[in-house]
Amino acid sequence: MARLAAYRAKRDFTKTSEPSGRTARRGGSSYVVQKHDASHLHYDFRLELDGVLKSWAVTKGPSLVTGEKRLAVHTEDHPLDYGDFEGTIPEGQYGAGTVMIWDRGIWEPEGDPEDGYAKGRLNFTLKGKKLRGAWHLIRIAPRPHRHQESWLLIKGDDAYARSEDEPDILEEAPDSAKTGRSLQEIAEETGS
């Protein structure tokens, strides 16, 4: 399907175990954050919308501190079954490195999500294992020489928010929400 053309063009499925992907018609609402130990560690934040996983790379990862803005660079749509992928992308392939399912669950948009996505403002509730409550994704003005859209991921103010003095969720809960493994255990294919 054309919507996954960018995803497929970057990958050689004879060499990587990532899914070649399919889209679906079902109106699901899955949500996943994949911790990706590539050339730079980052967190891939993905929301199911319109049969694919809309995707943003969050360099610093999500913060539970209300109002703390985390840059989320929009990346190519991923297939729905990518949300179940945990493993290692081989050296020399696009995104080479270890991928962990750091969090997953469902998301509930406030209002029409396709409209919000098009307008660059998504307000939603997350029901994951680690991230819960109100969140915002807001598109910001294009930055020079960047062709990818920049968005900000921000925690809403509610009972799930934390102050700056409280533990950082990234350090408090670093391991896989799917298998409990660490990045190293996934890289070595042990611990599950």
Is residue 109 within 8 Å of residue 122, measured between CB atoms? yes
> Which one, of 37, 86, 41, lies nearest residue 60 by Cα?
41
84/77 Cα distance (integer angstroms): 15
Q: How far is the CB of 45 from Mn ion (least distance, A)?
A: 10
Closest residue to Mn ion, based on beta-carbon distance: 36
How many degrees, rounded to 5, is the angle at CA 2 between CA 128 and CA 14? Answer: 80
Q: How far is the CB of 44 from Mn ion (least distance, A)?
A: 4
Q: Decide whether 46 or 181 has the Cβ nearer to Mn ion.
A: 46
Q: Decide whether 94 or 160 has the Cβ nearer to Mn ion.
A: 94
Q: Decide whether 38 or 173 has the Cβ nearer to Mn ion.
A: 38
Interface contacts to Mn ion, rule CB under 5 A: 36, 44
Q: Decide whether 33 or 49 has the Cβ nearer to Mn ion.
A: 33
Q: How far is the CB of 23 from Mn ion (least distance, A)?
A: 20
42/23 Cα distance (integer angstroms): 25
182/180 Cα distance (integer angstroms): 7
How many degrees, rounded to 5, is the angle at CA 190 between CA 183 and CA 94? Answer: 50
Q: How far is the CB of 42 from Mn ion (least distance, A)?
A: 6
Residue spans of beta strands (DSSP E) within 19-139: 30-37, 41-49, 52-58, 70-78, 87-89, 97-109, 121-128, 132-139
Q: How far is the CB of 88 from Mn ion (least distance, A)?
A: 13
What DSSP state is assigned to residue 160? T
Q: Decide whether 58 or 161 has the Cβ nearer to Mn ion.
A: 58
Q: Decide whether 61 or 116 has the Cβ nearer to Mn ion.
A: 61
Q: How far is the CB of 75 from Mn ion (least distance, A)?
A: 7
